[in-house]
Chains A and B, each alone.
Chain A
Amino acid sequence: MDAAYNLARWLVRDDHDAQDVVQDAYLRALRFAGGFRGGDPRAWILAIVRNTAFTWLKRNRGSNSPAEFDESLHHGDIADAGLEADAVRGADAAMIRDTLNELSEEFREVIVMRDIEGLSYKEIADAADLPIGTVMSRLARARGRLAKSIKERVSKEST
Chain B
Amino acid sequence: VNCDDARILLHGHLDGELDVVRDLEIERHLEECPRCAREFATLRAMRARLKDETFRFEAPAELKEKIRRALPQAPLRANGYLSRRRGFVPRAIQFAIPLAIGAMLALFIAPRAIRPNENDIVAREVVASHVRSMMGSHLMDVASTDQHTVKPWFNGKLDFSPPVTDFAKEGFPLVGGRLDYIDDRPVAALVYQHGKHVINVFMWPSTGTATSAERIQPEQGYHVEQLMVAGMNCWVVSDLNQPELKTFAELIRAHG
CA–CA, A85 to B44, complex, Å? 8
State whether B35 touches A36 (Cβ < 8 A).
no
User: Distance (Å) between the CB of B9 and the closest chain A CB?
Assistant: 8
Q: How many B residues touch the partner, as a band?
A: 35 or more
Chain A, range 1-57, C-beta contacts under 8 Å to B: 1-2, 4-6, 9-10, 15, 18-19, 22-23, 26-27, 29-30, 33-34, 36, 38-42, 45
State whether A116 touches B11 (Cβ < 8 A).
no
CA–CA, A97 to B49, complex, Å? 11
Indicate whether B88 reaches chain A with its CB closer than 8 angstroms.
Answer: no
Indicate whether B131 reaches chain A with its CB closer than 8 angstroms.
Answer: yes
Contact of A22 among B15, B67, B196 (CB under 8 A): B67
Within 8 Å CB of A114, what residues of B?
Answer: 15
Chain B, range 129-145, C-beta contacts under 8 Å to A: 131, 134-135, 137
CA–CA, A146 to B47, complex, Å? 11
CA–CA, A143 to B13, complex, Å? 14
Contact of B60 among A19, A38, A80 (CB under 8 A): A19
If over half of A's interface residues share one DSSP class (helix, strand or loop), that class is named, otherwise mixed; here it is: helix
Indicate whether B56 reaches chain A with its CB closer than 8 angstroms.
Answer: yes
Indicate whether A88 reaches chain B with its CB closer than 8 angstroms.
Answer: yes
Contact of B66 among A23, A45, A84, A118 (CB under 8 A): A23
Q: Of B100-108, B204-212, B227-235, B242-250, which stretch is located at the interface? A: B100-108
Residue-wise interface mask of B (216-228) relative to A, using a CB-CB cutoff of 8 A (1 in contact, 0 not)? 0000110000000
CA–CA, A10 to B55, complex, Å? 9
CA–CA, A115 to B49, complex, Å? 9
Within 8 Å CB of A147, what residues of B?
Answer: 42-43, 46
Within 8 Å CB of A27, what residues of B?
Answer: 70
User: Distance (Å) between the CB of A87 and the closest chain B CB?
Assistant: 8
Residue-wise interface mask of B (43-68) relative to A, using a CB-CB cutoff of 8 A (1 in contact, 0 not)? 11111111110111111101110110
CA–CA, A146 to B45, complex, Å? 12
State whether A115 touches B59 (Cβ < 8 A).
no
Within 8 Å CB of B59, what residues of A?
Answer: 1-2, 4-6, 22
Chain A, range 115-159, C-beta contacts under 8 Å to B: 115-118, 120-121, 136-137, 139-140, 143-144, 146-147, 150
CA–CA, A23 to B54, complex, Å? 23
With contacts A1-B67, A2-B58 known, is A89 near B49, CB below 8 A? Answer: yes
If over half of B's interface residues share one DSSP class (helix, strand or loop), that class is named, otherwise mixed; here it is: helix
Within 8 Å CB of A4, what residues of B?
Answer: 59
Contact of A1 among B7, B12, B38, B135 (CB under 8 A): B135
State whether A41 touches B104 (Cβ < 8 A).
yes
Indicate whether B76 reaches chain A with its CB closer than 8 angstroms.
Answer: no
Indicate whether B239 reaches chain A with its CB closer than 8 angstroms.
Answer: yes
State whether A80 touches B35 (Cβ < 8 A).
yes
CA–CA, A139 to B13, complex, Å? 12
A-B contacts, 6 listed (Cβ < 8 Å)? A26-B67, A30-B101, A33-B104, A121-B17, A136-B15, A140-B10
Instruction: Mark B residues whose CB is within 8 Å of A.
Output: 7-12, 15, 17, 35, 38-39, 41-52, 54-60, 62-64, 66-67, 70-71, 100-101, 104, 106-108, 111, 131, 134-135, 137, 195-196, 220-221, 239
Instruction: Mark A residues whose CB is within 8 Å of B.
Output: 1-2, 4-6, 9-10, 15, 18-19, 22-23, 26-27, 29-30, 33-34, 36, 38-42, 45, 78-81, 83-86, 88-89, 91, 93, 96-97, 100, 111, 114-118, 120-121, 136-137, 139-140, 143-144, 146-147, 150
Identify 4 new A-B residue pairs, CB closer than 8 A, beyond the known A1-B134, A5-B59, A111-B50.
A38-B107, A38-B111, A85-B42, A86-B45
